[in-house]
Chain A
Amino acid sequence: MTAPSHDPPGSEYALRAEGIGKSFGRVQALKAASLWGEAGKVTTLLGRNGAGKTTLMKIAAGVLRPDYGVVSLVGDARENHSLARLARLGLMYVPQEQLISPAYRVRDHLRSLATTFGSAGIEGAISEMRIESLLDQRVASLSGGERMRVSLALALARAPKVLIVDEPLIRLSPHNQEDLANSLRTLADRGAAVITSGHDARVLLSISDVILWCVAGTTHHIGTPTEALAHSQFRREYLGSTFSADGEPTT
């Protein structure tokens, strides 16, 4: 196995969560795990269910407090960040459950965002994510794919320095998965550090620049998607023997 996560020398990270440990009662969810986000790149956290991906992302986003470790956003390093503070510094977090409230209409969310951060990117984000027809609907009436499109429209409009999206492709059709994955790529191409996770390895590998492998509560820097596909232990223990990046099962 690769040595536990050491960042490449000279790299400039928008977000760094380093040496993170977290226990829930007697269960140690994370031990010395790290997560980095680099401007203009998509970093994908892959790992089996229960490996600690969501816990690590929540800690990096300031939603959960770590037992130990430091989270640093654009140079502001603290042991206990809050999401509100990180958001003011330029982070946006889209949780696995949902970012948007079922109590309100889509338009209300966009209006709140515009009030806080300005309305410059709102119209572009609406047309880019094709949510014009959803604006006056209540979130409770939207499908999972539509909710994620609205969440990503908010992210596009916000243009955050760092976007953390936990399992955005879950429960989506293959076509919607590719659409949303491309939106994450677009955000990174515009300069954001995008950090995501999931199990849809083929789609995620196609848009990622950096792969982190979360296993047994810690993380390993696997490298580029090409390096990940060539990593025998990662292939054997996570991707499985029949995985193929082009979608055709190998024999």
Chain B
Amino acid sequence: MVMRVLILWLFLHGASGWGSTAMLDTPFPQSLIPSPTGTIFLIAVIVVVVRLEMGRRSEIVFLANLGHSSGKIALLVVGACILLEIGLRAAVG
């Protein structure tokens, strides 16, 4: 799950950063940092995609049998995204 979040997060930030540099002339690497609304949107997309992928691979029922609810999984994904966002902002400065 962590790998999925990391790959999606990198892909979405890369894409939005490239778009921001190309269309809004935001300098790199500042273009990698989305606006607060954009950040919330990207995290929501990651949560939905991870949830759909886990459902497709029958992981949701298995994890639920271990006592892990969908809400708990979503919280973990959001937590991982927030850590990555903090790391990115610290790195970019």
Residues of chain A touching chain B, judged by Cβ–Cβ distance below 8 Å, are 62-63, 82-85, 87-88, 92-93, 95, 97-103, 109, 112-113, 116-117, 158
Contacts and interface: CB of A to CB of B under 8 A. Distances in A.
Interface in B55-75: 57-59, 61-70, 72
Dominant SS among interface residues on chain B: helix
Dominant SS among interface residues on chain A: mixed
Contacts of A113: 66
Contacts of B61: 63, 83, 93, 95, 99
Contact of A92 (B59, B65, B72): B65
A98 B62 CA distance: 9
A109 B62 contact: yes
Interface residues of B, number: 14
B57 A103 contact: yes
Contacts of A117: 66
Nearest to B72: A84
Contacts of A88: 67
Contacts of B65: 83, 87, 92-93, 99, 158
Interface string B46-88: 0000000000011101111111111010000000000000000
